[in-house]
Amino acid sequence: MLPGAKRHLRSMAARGESVPPDFARAYAAPLVELARAADGPLSGAERACAYVIDKVRASSGRLFDQGARVPPLASVSTSPVVRFIAERRMHRVSTSVARALLAWADGFPVELFTDVPPATAVLALQAKGHRCVSLLPDGAETGPHEDTLAFAVHDLCHLDKFIDSEHHRGQVGFFASLHGAVEGGSWGAFEAHFDAAFGRDWQHVAADMNGSSVFLFAALKMKLKMAVRRHVAQGDSRCAEPSGPLAPHETRAYDHSLEEMLTLLRLHGDVAEAARRTSARRDAPVAAHRLLKHFEDAGDHALRDRPVSHRLPSVHAFSGPPR
């Protein structure tokens, strides 16, 4: 892109003019060229938009530009790359990915990585209402994802679920509770009772699952239940059953471990009772609602100091270019 082109497109967006249809060809240059042509440093969100544009263009060829979004997605940004995400559809790029990029551009706190952060780092971010996206260099290990684009898309889909206004406060509260437990000093001893698979399992919940806080807690309970089953089976010198209800002696061991985990998560009284009754079967709606209220309150506490510019955006609305 010629020097000054970005300034020209920013000016068009500021005047409320839509990005021209040939913008895909004009602006979908390799990221390094885009940065060199910019009038100033690209923000993290702009880098992510350009990264996705460049990767999709390279992988999809003539199918890259799928036409205009009608209506365009909402964003207050006047950046040309952000306006392109808001106004144009790309091959095999979901609306969820676009919403996540636009929320990031509009101020939602996202950390940009060029490597894969450990699960504990992702948990710490989510515990304060932030999320991260990894833009990996070509040739990086991306398993189980197909390539670097798929890895970035995966992260952006998680971001979209994290900023869902229905579940955001509860998620932050759940992650803050788990982060407090993990950082509290006793989690290591608790985890050491079980096999390495439990460590991978709880970290998967902490860093690679998003949605309802009740769903997240039920998933964590299930990971613990299976860890207890494996632990008991190892003590009996047998293989653990892959599924099915716990046997009575497994249930006793699980109940003991669950109480320990509830204490570490600082779930007490009626909240602890609600947590005991809540499961993935959704057969205790009153208990689930009480637990949800607790996590939402914890989320409100964790988010109380977040700047106005970092509050949850209305990412599911639609609008034209900013005026």
* Residue 318, pLDDT score: 39
Q: Report whether 295 contacts 275 (CB < 8 A).
A: no
Sign of CA dihedral 299, 300, 305, 311: positive
CA distance 224 to 254: 8
| SS3 label, residue 222 | helix
Query: Which backbone phi and psi does 318 adopt, to 5 degrees?
Result: -125, 150
CA distance 160 to 170: 15
| SS3 label, residue 89 | strand
Paired sense of beta strands 131-134 and 88-90, if any:
unpaired
CA angle 15, 48, 55 (to 5 degrees): 110
Q: Report whether 137 contacts 114 (CB < 8 A).
A: yes
* Residue 297, pLDDT score: 98
Q: Residue 60: CA atoms inside 13 Å, Cβ hemisphere, count?
A: 19
Q: Tokens in use for 59?
A: 């992988």
Question: What one-character-per-residue DSSP string does 232-267 give?
Answer: HHHHTTSPPPSSSPPPHHHHHHHHHHHHHHHHHTT-
Average pLDDT, 10 consecutive residues per value, the chain (323 residues): 49 60 50 51 94 95 95 95 96 98 97 98 98 97 97 98 97 98 95 97 98 98 98 93 93 98 98 96 94 98 76 48 39
How many beta carbons lie within 10 A of that of residue 300, not counting itself?
A: 13
Q: What pTM does this model have?
A: 0.86
CA angle 117, 118, 124 (to 5 degrees): 90
How many beta carbons lie within 10 A of that of residue 308, not counting itself?
A: 6
Q: Where are the beta strands (DSSP E) in 92-153?
A: 110-113, 131-134
The closest of 198, 266, 141, 41 to 50, measured between CA atoms, is 41
Q: Report whether 223 contacts 198 (CB < 8 A).
A: yes
The closest of 194, 42, 223, 202 to 122, measured between CA atoms, is 202
Paired sense of beta strands 131-134 and 110-113, if any:
parallel
- Crossing angle (nearest 10°) for helices 95-105 and 44-60: 150
* Residue 112, pLDDT score: 98
* Residue 238, pLDDT score: 92
